[in-house]
Structure 1
Amino acid sequence: MTFLRPARPPKQDTTQPVKNLKRRNYAGPLMASPALILLFAFLVVPFIGAIVMSFFRIQLGSPRAPRFVGFEQYIRLFADPDISATFLRSLGNNFTFALVVVPLQTVLALGLAILINRKLRGMTFFRTVFFMPLVFPLALVAVIWRLIFARDEYGLLNGFLGAISGGLIQPHDWLGDANTALGAIIVMSVWQSVAFQMIILLGALQGVPKDLYEAASLDRANGWSQFVHVTVPGIRNTLIFVALLTMIFSFRLFDQVYLLDKSSSLNIEATQTVMYQVITTGYDQNNVGQGAAMAVVFFIIVAIVAIVQRRLVRQEGGVK
């Protein structure tokens, strides 16, 4: 009598899950590599270059080779009365601009996003109109607002105020007056860039589940209660991202000041920013090393402010 041996089950390929796991592990870095390469090329490399240049005395177009001066540029930045006073004033203008623009632009962008999120006839047209300032070249925007803020009676703003007041309000030099120059740039910047934050917040609003609003309506919640308890929690992470992004863009303020300074009588002391001082020091004054030292110190300050803001307002479900 022969005994039949039970058939052995087929061997399972235990290496397949490992292979799939390895593929998943490589997929993330592979897809992120283009962005990482660009960040390294346009952020890390220039910052390292700025650190290196800050230790040298460099003059563009000079036959003399760059001379190593160590920490002299950083010492002059804080010890030289003229340089330190201008740098601190520029830094103060940056913080003033950011303290006004970040809450103002975020609230305005949220209001516009809620407005154009409604399903009304012709809303596509209004979305296009609100987004149009972001498409305009900044040089064109500067020309438009230079005409608006012109100091004589032919300026659009002065003409409007004079017309509605019957000539009681006299023409004002909005860009030349130290009390209104920075405010004029704030208005111009908010008008030109609020559409970018508006589009981001509009996408977040459209991602809030409609069921939550229906449940709030059944609980007899009015519009304000729905906004506070449904809308804001639903877009909280996006609001934090928009505020952080607006703060970084605010510290980058340069183009508006430069263009208005070159095309009109702008009060530069009241509007000069650190980025403007870095460019003028490096190229107009031909002191690249000093400009690089300012850029390095400013980068560290902005990084600290961003980290503090990120710690104070943490995103839900994100990295703490």
Structure 2
Amino acid sequence: MSRTPIMKSYRRFLPEVGMLLPAIILMVVFIFIPFFLSGYFSFTNERLMPRPIPTQWIGLRNYERILADSEFWMSVKNTLYFAIVVIPIQLSLSLATAILLNSKLKFIAVFRGITILPILTPITVIVVIWAAIFQTPDGLLNGVYQWLTDSSDYIDWLGDEAIAMLSIVILSIWASFPFQMLIYLAGLQEIPKDRYEAAEIDGFNKWQQFRYITFPGLRNTNIFVVIITTIGALSLFTQVNILTGGGPNGSTTTIIQYMFSNGFSSQKIGYASAVSVIFFITVASLGLLQRRLMRNE
């Protein structure tokens, strides 16, 4: 008799469990299991291909080697440079574009459609197109440069250590800012219109409306966009891997590219796993920071 209510309770939740089960299985297979395996491998000398020497537990040796590796610190420096340059430009551009597209200008719907085109295009396709634009010496940018300077000189956009990362910055901003723009646009549409109407009655100009109404109203949106943009900047990989492979001379090697090269090119799975653990801790810390900042809205 006592089991009947329990069985009824189980049956009541069966539809919900059935709908959640596929997602739970996918999360376990593709997130939790790889995460724990990566953590375990980071303490071993595991390699991608079999070898005569069996896998051994080596403790913190991988982490010690990472911290002593100048190439790792070069990848950290390149990643931070990319993030420091990209984040403020991307946020400013996306917010300005969102404000423009939130206005009632003529043909604004057409402009919205054009602006989101990079979001609809796979990043790999975008990078291949930009590779043709950056091509030396016959790419579009060099063609424009030669026309403007009336000379046959050209710029090695991806082969010059001084500007290779800057070229990737330009590509990344163009490809990514529409996504942040859409988030800002959604945030702008959540701000009550009567606030702007009251501000106009009080004689506020456009800058004052932005300063006292728009920007404070986007507080949580700003925090969210900053965090996801930072994580995206720290996760830079596809652009670098396709365009430069980390070169020339490591000038565009990022943390993810460094991890990929060690894990697959050098087949040092244990070492690459240790790098991934360090990266995960960094990204998780940013997520916790976002949660704390948004908690007391």
Range into which the TM-score falls when normalised by the shorter chain: 0.7 to 0.9
Q: Deviations over 1:67-91 (max 9, x none)?
A: 2222221222224xxxx10000001
RMSD over aligned Cα atoms: 2.6
Q: Which residue of 2 aligns with 1:282?
A: 263
Q: Identify the range of structure 1 (279-288 vs 53-62) with the bigger mean alpha-carbon deviation.
A: 53-62
From 264, 271, 275, the counterpart of 1:294: 275
From 232, 237, 240, the counterpart of 1:254: 237
Sort the Cα spacing of 1:236 and 1:41 in 2 relative to 1 into closer, same or farther, 3 A.
farther
Q: Which residue of 2 aligns with 1:245?
A: 228
User: For the Cα contact (< 8 Å) 2:158–2:244, is it kept in 1?
Assistant: no
Question: How far apart, in 1, do the equivalents of 2:235 and 2:20 lie?
Answer: 26
Q: Which residue of 2 aligns with 1:8?
A: none
Higher RCO structure, 1 or 2 (CA under 8 Å, sep 6+): 2
Query: Does residue 102 in structure 1 map to residue 87 in structure 2?
Result: yes
User: For the Cα contact (< 8 Å) 1:181–1:271, is it kept in 2?
Assistant: yes
Alignment of 1:298-309 (within 5 A): 298-304=279-285, 307=288
User: For the Cα contact (< 8 Å) 1:178–1:267, is it kept in 2?
Assistant: yes
Question: How far apart, in 1, do the equivalents of 2:244 and 2:175 lie?
Answer: 18
Sort the Cα spacing of 1:68 and 1:316 in 2 relative to 1 into closer, same or farther, 3 A.
closer
Question: How far apart, in 2, do the equivalents of 1:118 and 1:279 lie?
Answer: 44
From 185, 201, 209, the counterpart of 1:202: 185
Q: Deviations over 1:12-64 (max 9, x none)?
A: xxxxxxxxxx9xxx9xx989998777655544432221110112212223154
Sort the Cα spacing of 1:147 and 1:309 in 2 relative to 1 into closer, same or farther, 3 A.
same
Q: Which residue of 1 aligns with 2:6?
A: none
Q: Which residue of 1 aligns with 2:3?
A: none
Q: Which residue of 1 aligns with 2:48?
A: 60
- TM superposition shift of 1:173: 0.6
Sort the Cα spacing of 1:269 and 1:310 in 2 relative to 1 into closer, same or farther, 3 A.
farther
Q: How many pairs align?
A: 282
- TM superposition shift of 1:183: 0.8
Question: How far apart, in 1, do the equivalents of 2:200 and 2:24 lie?
Answer: 46
Q: Which residue of 2 aligns with 1:87?
A: 72
TM-score by length of 2: 0.86
Question: How far apart, in 1, do the equivalents of 2:176 and 2:190 lie?
Answer: 23
Q: Which residue of 1 aligns with 2:294?
A: 315
Secondary structure at the counterpart of residue 298 of structure 1: helix
Secondary structure at the counterpart of residue 272 of structure 1: coil
From 120, 124, 144, the counterpart of 1:160: 144
Amino acid of the structure 1 residue aligned with 2:116: F
Amino acid of the structure 1 residue aligned with 2:90: Q
Secondary structure at the counterpart of residue 116 of structure 2: helix
Query: Does residue 128 in structure 1 map to residue 113 in structure 2?
Result: yes
Sort the Cα spacing of 1:32 and 1:241 in 2 relative to 1 into closer, same or farther, 3 A.
farther
Secondary structure at the counterpart of residue 173 of structure 1: coil
Amino acid of the structure 2 residue aligned with 1:146: A
Q: Deviations over 1:115-159 (max 9, x none)?
A: 11122332222111110012112222112111221221x221121
User: For the Cα contact (< 8 Å) 2:244–2:252, is it kept in 1?
Assistant: no
Sort the Cα spacing of 1:123 and 1:34 in 2 relative to 1 into closer, same or farther, 3 A.
farther
Q: Which residue of 1 aligns with 2:66?
A: 77
Question: How far apart, in 1, do the equivalents of 2:30 and 2:242 lie?
Answer: 24
TM-score by length of 1: 0.80
Aligned identity (percent) is 37
Question: How far apart, in 2, do the equivalents of 1:183 and 1:162 lie?
Answer: 20
Instruction: Please list every run of 5 or more consecutive structure 1 residues that lacks an aligned counterpart in the other structure.
Output: 1-21
Question: How far apart, in 1, do the equivalents of 2:26 and 2:90 lie?
Answer: 28
- TM superposition shift of 1:307: 4.7
When Rg is computed on C-alpha atoms for both structures, the one with the higher figure is 1
Question: How far apart, in 2, do the equivalents of 1:182 and 1:57 lie?
Answer: 32
| 4+ runs deviating over 6 angstroms | 29-37
From 215, 223, 226, the counterpart of 2:198: 215
Question: How far apart, in 2, do the equivalents of 1:45 and 1:295 lie?
Answer: 14
- TM superposition shift of 1:317: 3.9
User: For the Cα contact (< 8 Å) 1:261–1:268, is it kept in 2?
Assistant: no
